Chains A and B, each alone.
Chain A
């Protein structure tokens, strides 16, 4: 399964990402992967440092929005870019909780090929939906 694709000609000043996953864990991992790849060439990033994110929300959409926003918070606060993530989402009654471990390293302009400094995750057209193959998300990010 393809991890994600960029939708051309949608919100043209920004980046529109359509991410896929056979379950929610994978959908979140692939959405995060799209953020990582739009921020830098991940081939040049080493997995030297780990950051943990713990969140909960009332639905999968809010959880995804908060999770992706948290990645941007870590990027600026710790000057970090990431290569991969491991995610576990548990649904209990009407509450979704997430445990994520991101791997990456501190930004080094000599070593890394940087791309876009994503400003924020927007709620414009934001969507998580169930498909035949699992899940699909549409995320427009402000750059």
Chain B
């Protein structure tokens, strides 16, 4: 058993919220590593993060810095919260371990014009309805029945297929990252196994930290009124819904397939890695391009999964409140990926370059005016949705120029674990947690009591501190904090 990695001797304070580990820390580091954190967050950061963020700094073609966001924690390959950009012209790589098995795991936020007073008396009925409508938990089957050729259409066309087939509103597309469709998706790069594994799973939440949450806007939690209003959040007492899930077994299988495909070819490309999970291939190699195209299929499946779930949420609300979803103004605020790699234009030392930006547990945070943003967000910047623990709250932020200048247009993605699942389960009982949360005004329905215990608030960092860090470091701007009142979990 390998001992727990050691903390680097040299962690230099660049500013109140940026910490740097120099290139000299580890043999093979091509760039320094930078961790975004307040003083107390860097002290709490587990040692695995330092080891992993500096391992990433050794990968071919990496530019400027290997980053970790303030919600960072010990993952596999890259740390969770890891951000790194690679230049394909300098043999830059693409790595499945820098994206995660749950390709395009992401967040979706939906508004309503309902108030807490209207929802409170029906909260249990609503949550029980959503729990029934959106399947969750181990090996669950989705509610959208498709055949093989339809599934292929879905993985190549993403949310567009959903809208064309009655699962949503046309406007949902312009409120989804990249319109919910990644163009370079190519189903011929996906194994038959991945297709078999994913075909039944469209419209499922999964388990772990995935959820569907009903949340409340409180007056004291609106930090930027104007931007909040532009995003559809206009008043205290307003109810919103947040969804967190990804590409399910389909994406997991693509990640597994390419991890094994890349391993034997690394020698050919003279790539040395410090952890087998960092397996990678040059972006401009056949293998790298195949993965990029297969990954896009998984990303499209994830956009579609969250899109059909949104459709079900609207149906659930209609049923319980006996009103049209349009009347309840159930607009999508935004849908954003936080496990993905994309080819994007960034400035490196004054020169514009196309880089393959990996975000693993990190949200894109493009600023106002960014050419890739829909006109809806040209003035405000891109909405950034950050999910906290089910007990403490989540945030809506907005992208900034600071993120473009500092972190390849990236910010945090959640509150970040601080306690292992095994330890959380030992300290908290699921059934007791469920009762305690109900006393605090949060009604929870979960497929698994053990799974619920693993997701207890105490297992996470303080989300306010994480948000404070990204806000003060300038890599996104705080807009609204959202308080959970009901949660559906796998």
Contacts and interface: CB of A to CB of B under 8 A. Distances in A.
Contact of B255 (A7, A18, A81, A120): A120
Contacts of B279: 123
Contacts of A115: 138, 207, 448, 450-451
Interface string A1-23: 00000111111111100100000
A77 B249 CA distance: 9
B75 A119 contact: no
B139 A117 contact: yes
A139 B422 CA distance: 15
Contacts of A12: 46, 48, 73-74, 417-421
A70 to B, nearest CB: 9
A113 interface: yes
A138 B207 CA distance: 23
B139 A142 contact: no
Of listed A6, A7, A122, residue having the most chain B CB within 10 A: A122
A65 B97 CA distance: 15
B53 to A, nearest CB: 14
B73 A113 contact: no
A14 B77 CA distance: 12
A51 interface: no
Contact of B200 (A11, A18, A79): A79
B102 A119 contact: yes
B151 to A, nearest CB: 13
Given A12-B417, A79-B200, A18 B74 contact: no
Contacts of B100: 142
Contacts of B80: 13
Contacts of A66: 260
Contact of B1 (A6, A7, A72): A7
Interface string B141-170: 100000000000000000000000000000
B197 interface: yes
A120 B77 CA distance: 13
B139 A79 contact: yes
A85 B140 CA distance: 22
Interface string A70-81: 001101110111
Contacts of A27: none
A39 B207 CA distance: 10
B65 interface: no
Contact of A143 (B197, B207, B248, B418): B207
A81 B276 CA distance: 28
Given A7-B1, A109-B447, A143-B207, A123 B141 contact: no
Interface in B426-473: 447-451, 454
B140 A107 contact: yes
A81 B102 CA distance: 21
A79 B141 contact: yes
A40 interface: yes
Contacts of A7: 1, 422
Measured as residues with beta carbon below 8 angstroms from the partner, the interface class of chain A is 35 or more
Contacts of B73: 12-13
Given A73-B197, A117-B206, A126 B139 contact: no
Contact of B75 (A11, A39, A72): A11
Contacts of B226: none
A124 B77 contact: yes
A114 interface: yes
B253 A73 contact: yes
A95 to B, nearest CB: 15
A69 interface: yes
A116 interface: yes
B138 A121 contact: no
Q: Please indicate which of the listed interface residues A76, A77, A121, A143 has the most CB atoms of chain B within 10 Å of its own CB.
A: A76
Contact of B76 (A9, A18, A77, A122): A122
Contacts of B419: 12
A117 B76 contact: no
Contacts of A126: 276-277
Contacts of A62: 260
Contact of A77 (B102, B197, B421): B197
Contacts of B197: 73, 76-77
A40 B139 CA distance: 11
B193 interface: yes
A141 B237 CA distance: 41
Contacts of A75: 138-139, 249
Contacts of A140: 76
Given A6-B422, A79-B200, A13 B450 contact: no
- Counting chain B CB atoms within 10 Å of each CB, the highest count among A7, A75, A107, A119 belongs to A119
A49 to B, nearest CB: 13
B4 A116 contact: no
B196 interface: yes
Contacts of A9: 4, 46, 420, 423
B430 to A, nearest CB: 10
B208 A143 contact: yes
A53 interface: no
Contacts of B75: 11, 13-14, 124
A71 to B, nearest CB: 11
A17 B282 CA distance: 32
Given A6-B422, A76-B139, A76-B248, A121 B201 contact: no
7 contacts: A10-B74, A12-B418, A109-B140, A115-B138, A115-B451, A123-B259, A142-B252
Interface of A: 6-15, 18, 39-40, 62, 65-66, 69, 72-73, 75-77, 79-81, 107, 109, 113-117, 119-126, 138, 140, 142-143
Given A77-B249, A117-B206, 15 more contacts: A9-B420, A13-B74, A39-B138, A65-B260, A77-B197, A109-B140, A114-B448, A115-B207, A117-B138, A119-B206, A122-B76, A122-B277, A123-B77, A123-B277, A124-B276
